[in-house]
Structure 1
Amino acid sequence: MLNALQVVTTVTVGLMVGVEFSVAFVMNRIFGALPEDSDQMARAHGGRLLGALMPFWYIGSLVLAAGWAVAGWHLPGTGLVVIAAALLIVSVLMSVLLLVPINNRGKTWTPETRPADWKEQMNRWDRYHYGRVAVIVAAFTLLVTALA
């Protein structure tokens, strides 16, 4: 049972890292190269789509990592899982405190209703997102290392 929990946790966090890495380093660059208002409209659509999914993914990843830490408390490597879970808590806090407020505004914007500083707000979101990606990559790395 513990082995299944370890695999599900690692795969879930790994997929989340892949999606968030892709958003940071691929999708936003593609969106930025689109003509005229397409960048802002693509970000708004992405904010609606991923904004609905990611809370479950982040909280689910944290719950899985915490479950692994509890179930494997007696095993070597559990300290790494605990640190990974702590980093996932940090990623949730970063999301709620820094990224979600910007995303909630941005996902409602249209070319007609967006504020004059929309690009600055999106750049701020990007900077926070880079930090969050670094945190979840570190968590994923610790989970993989705990398996070894």
Structure 2
Amino acid sequence: MQDVLAVTTVVVVGMLVGVEFAVSAFVNPIFDRLPTESGIAARSDGARVLGRVMPFWYIGSVVLGAVWTALAWGGEGAAQAAAATGLLLVSVVMSVLLLVPIASRSATWSSTAPPADWKEQSKRWDRYHVVRVGVIVLAFALFAVALALA
């Protein structure tokens, strides 16, 4: 049971890292190269679509990590799983406090009448997102180490 949970957690968090890395490294830079109206529409649509999915993915990852940590407590890899879960919790707090407010606003942007500071808001979101990606990459690496030790 614990092995299945560990592998599931690594796979789920690994896919989360992949999606978030792709947004940071490829998707948003592509959106930024589109004509202004198209770029705003793309970011707005991305915020709406991912805004519906990502909360479940992040919270689900934290729950998987917490259950794995509880089951492994006192055993090999438990400390790494606990640290990884803590980092995922940090990423959730970062999301709620820093990223979600900007994403919620951008989800309502109209390409014909964007706010005057839409570029600054997008750049701020991108900077916060890069930090969050770093946090979840580290969490993923710790989960992988925990799986190898288990």
Q: Answer whether TM exceeds 0.5 for this pair.
A: yes
Q: Is the aligned partner of 1:75 residue 2:65?
A: no
Unaligned runs of 5+ in 1: none
Q: 1:48 — aligned with what?
A: 48
**What is the aligned residue count?**
148
**Structure 1 position 112, deviation (Å):** 2.8
CA displacement 1:81-116 (0-9 Å, x = unmatched): 100011001000000000000000000001233211
Q: Is the aligned partner of 1:66 residue 2:84?
A: no
Deviating runs (4+, > 2 A) in structure 1? none
Q: Is the aligned partner of 1:17 residue 2:17?
A: yes
Percent same amino acid among aligned pairs?
A: 55
**Structure 1 position 77, deviation (Å):** 1.3
Q: 1:104 — aligned with what?
A: 104
Report if aligned partners of 2:99, 2:125 keep a CA contact under 8 Å in 1. yes
Q: 2:33 — aligned with what?
A: 33
SS at match of 1:37: helix
2-structure distance, mates of 1:109, 1:103: 10
Q: Report the TM-score when normalising by structure 1.
A: 0.98
Report if aligned partners of 2:69, 2:81 keep a CA contact under 8 Å in 1. yes
**Structure 1 position 13, deviation (Å):** 0.3
1:126-145 matches, cutoff 5 A: 126-145=126-145
2-structure distance, mates of 1:108, 1:35: 19
CA displacement 1:111-132 (0-9 Å, x = unmatched): 2332111000000000000000
Q: 2:57 — aligned with what?
A: 57
**Structure 1 position 35, deviation (Å):** 2.0
Q: Report the TM-score when normalising by structure 2.
A: 0.96
